[in-house]
Structure formats: C-alpha cells, structure tokens
C-alpha cells in the first residue's frame, strides 16, 4: 500500500514539473524556423519556392498601395507597379543548386522577406539533368532545437519533483507509523 502512495506521489510530482516547464520551452521556440518572421501590412509570395537555375518565378504582392521593388541575389530587381499585383523573374543560370536565397519585397518604407531554394539541374538543358537528393526530413519531432542546457534544466526539475514527492511521502508515513 505504501509503495502505491510513493509511486503516485512521484508521478504527480513529475507531471507537475513537466507542466510548469512546458510554457517556458514553448515560449522560447527553437529560433531556426519562424514562418512569420516578417509580418507586414501587405502580403507577398514567390511561386514556386524551389526552382532550378534558369527557371522563372512568379512574384506577387497584395495590399501594397505603392510601387513594390522585389530583389534577390539570384535575379535582377523587379518592380511591381502601383495597381498591379504580379510580376515574374528569371533565376540566374549560375545560381548554386541547393542554395537558399532571400527575396525581399519593399513596399514604401516597409519590407518583407521570404526564401527561394535552388533545385539541382537546369530546365531545358539536357546536359545538366536534375539531381535528386531525396527528402529533407528534419530533426525528428520536438527534439529539434533543444540544447544541452534546456535538457539539463528539465532533468533537474523532474528529479527535484520526484525527490520532493518521495520526501513528503516518507515524512507522512513516519508520522503515522510512529
């Protein structure tokens, strides 16, 4: 009977520690992937987001009441005139396969950024067929982004909770048996 009380107290303590530690971990984020890193009053898009060198991308903007300049290190600067919402750009032939380039949309004094990935191979060029390297799978669920300090802090919180639960259950048992 006493083992059940100790086990349930330890479980309750560890669940409490995990519950209290979770908001900190969620609030910090991993900082690696932030889809809304540039919140603007206007919308913007590059399509497709992955393209081979020499390919054409569609650039679109909505909600910008001024002229929009779209620039990147992989194509010439494009102007989307006031009242228009679309333009296109040709990716440079010397763009490095696998590289990720930042595309900047400048509307007045406000700017937003998104990424453009260069795929392997070149369109309409049989001497450079596309190179398929498989799927980029990521880091495996929620384990990505944790560092050794966060893991150590979580382990210390759990150990402290289990130790406190054990201490209080032993103390209470000693008072009743005594």
> What pLDDT score does 172 carry?
63
> What pLDDT score does 36 carry?
47
> What pLDDT score does 132 carry?
55
> What pLDDT score does 74 carry?
92
> What pLDDT score does 143 carry?
55
Q: Using CB atoms within 10 A of its CB, is residue 120 exposed (0-12), middle (13-18) or buried (19+)?
A: middle
> What pLDDT score does 103 carry?
93
Cβ neighbours for 99, distance < 8 A, ≥ 6 positions apart = 74, 117, 118
Per-residue pLDDT of the chain (178 residues; tens, 9 = 90+): 567 777 777 777 776 766 666 555 455 544 444 444 567 888 999 999 999 989 999 999 998 888 999 999 999 999 999 888 899 999 999 888 888 999 999 998 888 999 999 987 555 555 555 555 555 555 555 555 667 777 888 889 899 988 888 888 876 655 555 5
> What pLDDT score does 85 carry?
87
What tokens were used for 4? 């059940």
Distance CA 165, CA 17 (A): 11
Q: For residue 103, give the H/E element and its range.
A: strand 100-107
Output b/e per residue, 95-117; b: 16+ Cβ within 10 A: bebeeebebbbbbeeebbebebe
> What pLDDT score does 60 carry?
92
> What pLDDT score does 76 carry?
92
> What pLDDT score does 141 carry?
53
Q: Using CB atoms within 10 A of its CB, is residue 176 exposed (0-12), middle (13-18) or buried (19+)?
A: exposed
């Amino acid at each position: 009977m006493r083992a059940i009380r100790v086990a349930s107290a330890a479980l309750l303590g560890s669940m409490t520690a995990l519950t209290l530690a979770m908001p900190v971990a969620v609030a910090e984020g991993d900082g690696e992937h932030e889809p809304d890193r540039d919140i603007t009053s206007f919308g913007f898009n590059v399509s497709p987001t992955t393209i081979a060198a020499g390919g054409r991308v569609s650039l679109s903007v909505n909600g910008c009441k001024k002229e929009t300049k779209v620039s990147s290190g992989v194509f010439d600067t494009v102007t989307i005139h006031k009242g228009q919402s679309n333009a296109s750009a040709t990716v440079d032939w010397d763009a490095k396969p696998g590289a990720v380039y930042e595309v900047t949309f400048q509307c007045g004094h406000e700017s937003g950024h998104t990424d453009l990935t260069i795929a392997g191979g070149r369109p309409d060029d049989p001497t450079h067929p596309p190179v398929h390297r498989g799927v980029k799978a990521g880091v495996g669920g929620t384990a990505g982004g944790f560092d050794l300090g966060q893991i150590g802090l979580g382990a210390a919180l759990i150990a402290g909770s289990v130790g406190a639960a054990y201490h209080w259950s032993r103390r209470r048992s000693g008072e009743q048996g005594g």
